[in-house]
Amino acid sequence: MRTLFSLLAIFAFAFTTTVQAQDKVEVTIESNDRMQFDLNEIKVEAGQTVVLTLKHVGKLPKAAMGHNWVLLKQGVDIQAFGSAASKAAGNEYVPEGTDDVIVHTKLIGGGQETTIEFTAPAAGTYDYICSFPGHYALMKGKLIVE
């Protein structure tokens, strides 16, 4: 009887561990010296833990071709945000005190990478951009939360 309970406990633990592993998704997005992300769409589930790594596969330094990944709240005007971001050099081109951002990475240069972890927001479609001056016009995509 004791063996049966031990086996049940082991199976229950194994099942719980498997379910928890599905609650986390790892995403790697690459940027380059041609002002491009390699992904223009990312799909996740609401409430899921997202571990996002931004890799700058280019060679140019941060001052010349810096990249970040900024997830905007729904309804934010990308052009208006990008314009405000261009004036926020002291905060790596993310306006201080803004209410428009859900999460963002740090600004990186060629050969660097950075990782953030966040909880996926409510179901919907969200824009993400690079907020380095002028990059948002080309470096953008959609986070689709199901």
pLDDT of residue 56: 99
pLDDT of residue 55: 99
What pTM does this model have?
0.85
Cα(69)–Cα(107) distance, rounded to whole angstroms?
8
pLDDT of residue 4: 43
The architecture that CATH gives domain 24-145 is Sandwich (2.60)
Residues 103/79, Cβ–Cβ less than 8 Å? no
Residues in the chain: 146
pLDDT of residue 2: 53
CA angle 15, 19, 20 (to 5 degrees): 115
pLDDT of residue 52: 99
93: left (phi > 0), else alpha (psi -120 to 50), else beta? left
- Summarised one tens digit per residue, pLDDT across range 6-45 is 444 444 444 433 334 469 999 999 999 999 999 999 999 9
Compute mean pLDDT per 10 residues along the chain, 146 residues long, and list them: 46 41 88 98 98 99 98 98 98 97 99 99 99 98 99
pLDDT of residue 16: 37
Q: Which amino acid would we find at residue 49?
A: T
